[in-house]
Amino acid sequence: MYDEQQRPEDGRPDHGRADHGPLAGFTVGVTAARRAEELGALLQRRGAAVVHAPALRIVPLSDDGELLAATKEIIDQAPDIVVATTAIGFRGWVEAAEGWGLGEDLLARLRGVRLLARGPKVKGAIRAAGLTEEWSPASESMAEVLDRLLEEGVENRRVAVQLHGEPLPGFVESLRAGGAEVVGVPVYRWMPPEDIGPVDRLLDAAVARALDAVTFTSAPAAASLLSRAEKRGLLPELLGALGHDVLPVCVGPVTALPLQAQGVDTLQPERFRLGPLVQLLCQELPARARSLPVAGHRVEIRGHAVLVDGELRPVPPAGMSLLRVLSRRPGWVVPRAELLRALPGAGRDEHAVETAMARLRTALGAPKLIQTVVKRGYRLALDPAADAKYADA
């Protein structure tokens, strides 16, 4: 994955200014270990600043003794049904078996069983191995696979289920309750990252509301981030941020389960893919941005930047803190003491407000957007028609 590009004056990721996209001015956290570069590139192409912190790492399949044992068990005693859940997992299973000298034996065994594929990508992996699936649900849902198996009846059937690091809620339990013997095939193992530093930095950024969204592409990554937050004593703060200011977006409902168990509502695209996930962010984040008519300009306040008449204007963190306070009551005077409280580490020196305000005006490129009210404070110079609207609200 790429490194964050830092702006020397404020330490924030540099999102660039040319040809900004729908996510310009927003910072998105990426917790993925697998396909992280692809997701990061999709976000960056749409203008987002990306903070990458892989919450997990994947143990190579050839090093996993549990997979070897499960493979030998399936070769020695054929299952009636094999459920393949992910394309990368199925391919990796076959490749690992080949590395152990068991590839031909495994494929020969799979040719004689009923193969069920969760979706089109899994079907492609099965066919690439010279095999043919019996059935695949149109919904790509494990729930539909389970319903079909239970309707057919699984009593006294031996069912091998390709596990893929994510919980399959109720799937194995329901099969066993129906009388099936279930063999789990752990195609790869999740482990904590070797370098926990990026995860801690992402947690700190989320708690400080320096992120606008965090993306999750696997349930283990979500669970790992929550576990790390709990270990650091930051879980309440993280849950508060995800519940109000930092948008949690999951690739699908299974990925969202650890967050939902903590009471966090998440968003998921209708199609469980990276592209639709990014498109969902492109819709949701700009829709949440505050847009105001100020001093003859259209001002849209985003995560770490402001659009002034459509032009992206990067703003230092202190300036964004002031601007957010002013925007809560547009057109109204906000006292210096209240603005001072929005500046972390400023103490009691109201001069810090004046310094941050001067930098904010310079960053916005239109000094008249914010008016100084002598001996009282500052106000956003809301346009007269809008001023009346907000006064009546």
Residue-wise DSSP of 219-275 = HHHHHHHHHHHHHTT-HHHHHHHHHHTSEEEESSHHHHHHHHHTT---B--SS-SHH
Structural domain boundaries in the chain: 27-56+193-288, 59-190, 290-392
Residue 389 has pLDDT above 70, yes or no: no
55 DSSP assignment: S
pLDDT value for 392: 46
State which fold the 59-190 domain adopts: Rossmann fold (3.40.50)
What CATH code is assigned to 27-56+193-288? 3.40.50.10090
pLDDT value for 3: 34
Read off the pLDDT of each residue in 207-226 and give the average, rounded to a whole number: 91
Least confident of 168-177, 333-342, 352-361: 168-177
Read off the pLDDT of each residue in 187-196 and give the average, rounded to a whole number: 83
Helix (H) or strand (E) holding 161: strand 158-163
How many Å apart are CA 110 and CA 117, to the nearest integer?
13
Read off the pLDDT of each residue in 268-284 and give the average, rounded to a whole number: 90
In sequence order, the 6+-apart residues with CB closer than 8 A to the CB of 338 are: 325, 377
The CATH number of 290-392 is which of 3.30.390.50, 3.30.43.10, 1.10.10.10, 3.20.20.140? 1.10.10.10
pLDDT value for 346: 60
Residue 19 has pLDDT above 90, yes or no: no
Q: Quick: pLDDT tens for 367-383.
A: 889 999 988 899 988 88
Residue 259 — φ and ψ, nearest 5°?
-70, -45
How many Å apart are CA 171 and CA 189, to the nearest integer?
19
pLDDT value for 9: 34
* pTM, rounded to two decimals: 0.70
Q: Quick: pLDDT tens for 39-77.
A: 999 999 999 999 999 998 877 666 678 889 999 999 999
**Helix-helix angle 274-288:36-45, to 10 degrees:** 40
Residue 4 has pLDDT above 50, yes or no: no
**Do 351 and 340 contact (CB within 8 A), yes or no?**
no
Average pLDDT of the chain is: 86
Highest mean pLDDT: which range of 83-87, 200-204, 289-293, 379-383: 200-204
pLDDT band at 172 (very low <50, low <70, confident <90, very high): confident
Same fold, 59-190 and 290-392: no
pLDDT value for 16: 39
Residue 250 has pLDDT above 80, yes or no: yes
Residue 36 has pLDDT above 60, yes or no: yes
pLDDT band at 199 (very low <50, low <70, confident <90, very high): very high
Highest mean pLDDT: which range of 13-17, 167-171, 261-265: 261-265
Least confident of 3-17, 133-147, 204-218, 327-341: 3-17
How far from each other are the two terminal CA atoms of the chain, in whole angstroms? 47
**Do 164 and 91 contact (CB within 8 A), yes or no?**
no
Residue 35 has pLDDT above 50, yes or no: yes
Q: Quick: pLDDT tens for 330-356.
A: 889 999 888 888 887 666 677 888 898
Count the neighbouring beta carbons within 10 Å of the beta carbon of residue 194.
Answer: 7
